[in-house]
Amino acid sequence: MKTAPVSLLLGVCVLLLSALTVCAVSLSVSPNLQQFFTAASVSLTCDGQLGSDGWTVKRDTGSGTESCGAGGRGFGRLTGSSCLLDKQSEPISGVYWCEGEAGEKSEEVNITVSDKEVILEIPALPVRTGSDVTLRCKKKIGGTAAAYFYFNGRPVGPKSEKNITINVQQSDEGLYWCATDEFGSSPQSFLRVRDVYDTTTISPSATKPPPTTTINLNSPPSTSSSSIISPVAALGSLGLLDLILVAALLFWNKKQERTLSSSLSQVTYQDMNFRQSANKITDTHSHVVFSSPRTLQG
């Protein structure tokens, strides 16, 4: 009877360890940027607290999935635990992520490679609410250009500036780009924002960030954020599962106690019946012993 509760406890332990493993690995981009000029050098690494053995950097450029360092449809060069994109293996615009041997996926990162005259320096990884993020319009010939910055189709400020600094709030999540009078505009990239209490690193079923499509500056674009399963929510679900398990164990113990109590009461009742029967036999014999004597005729 003790096998079932033990099996349930082991099952919960396995689920908890699986959740921790899934939430442990993320794609690290160095430098932490979304936009690059052609022939740039970019390092992609699968990082995790519980290790990243068996994880591979993958990408989708719109023509299928490719694995870093693989022959045929592979890309990049493996240098230790990192995937390097450089002059020998040029970075290409696409969606990049880490994938485990069992098919687990990290949160995806959109990387844009441009041959334009300017690109926007914007973080590739999610930023925390309350943190400061500085955006710059970087020139292909070097240096920073004074530019107008746009957020979801609207100008951020009234004048051209070298850079802007944002104290990030959740409402700042969306599409950004910069535009100059001399060098034109940069590609668009989506800034992802996470709550300061959200420790999300990856999601087994993470969705792609909005694609960097060209939009009309006069009309706000339609935006959506990545759907991420927070570990806080996952741990909350596991906590609820633990509560259900504890309740099931308590119910099982109560049932066992009631069964044992019922068995004990039956034994007591039968014992009492036995004693009553013994008393009746004693009374019968007492009548025989103490009946009136009769005189025998000789």
Domain shared by 56 and 162, yes or no: yes
Residue predicted with more confidence, 288 or 188: 188
CA dist 179 and 146 (Å) reads: 9
**Averaged over 41-58, what is the pLDDT?**
83
Q: Please state, for a pLDDT cut of 90, what percent of the chain lies above it.
A: 46
Q: So what's the pLDDT on residue 43? A: 96
Q: Based on the domain organization, do 73 and 83 belong to the same domain?
A: yes
Q: Is residue 108 part of a domain?
A: yes
Q: Based on the domain organization, do 131 and 214 belong to the same domain?
A: yes
The verdict on 52 and 184 lying in the same domain is yes
Whole-number Å distance between alpha carbons of 36 and 15? 40
Contact 103, 79 (CB under 8 A): no
Distances (CA, A) of 53 to 159, 161, 200, 297: 49, 45, 20, 114
Do 268 and 221 reside in the same domain of the chain? no
The reported pLDDT for the residue numbered 298 is 45
Average pLDDT over residues 195-218: 46
Same domain flag for 215 and 142: yes
Q: How far apart are CA 35 and CA 159, in angstroms?
A: 23
Residue 214 in any domain: the answer is yes
On whether the CB atoms of residues 83 and 67 are closer than 8 A, the answer is no
Dihedral angle sign, alpha carbons of residues 7, 12, 18, 21: negative
pTM of the full predicted structure?
Answer: 0.61
**Which two structure tokens, joined as six digits, stand for 283?**
């009374």
Question: Are 250 and 224 within one domain?
Answer: no
The domain that holds 164 is classified in CATH as 2.60.40.10
- 294 falls within a domain: no
Q: Which residues contact 28 (CB under 8 A, 6 or more apart)?
A: 44, 45, 46, 47, 125
Q: Tell whether 184 and 248 lie within a shared domain.
A: no
pLDDT at 238 > cutoff 90: no
Residue 265 lies in a domain: yes
Instruction: Report pLDDT for 245.
Output: 66
Q: Are residues 70 and 81 in the same domain?
A: yes
- 151 and 235 fall within a common domain: no
**Is pLDDT of 296 > 60?**
no
Residues 65 and 164 in one domain: yes
List the structure tokens of 96. 């990049």
pLDDT band at 297, cuts 50/70/90?
low
109 & 171 share domain: yes
Give residue 215's pLDDT.
Answer: 40
- Distance between CA atoms of residues 198 and 191, nearest Å: 16
Domain count for the chain, please give it: 2
Q: What is the pLDDT of residue 160?
A: 94
- Mean pLDDT, range 190-198, rounded to an integer: 88
Distance CA 260, CA 86 (A): 73
Range of the domain at 239: 230-274
Confirm if 193 and 168 have CB atoms less than 8 A apart: yes
Mean of all residue pLDDT scores within the chain: 74
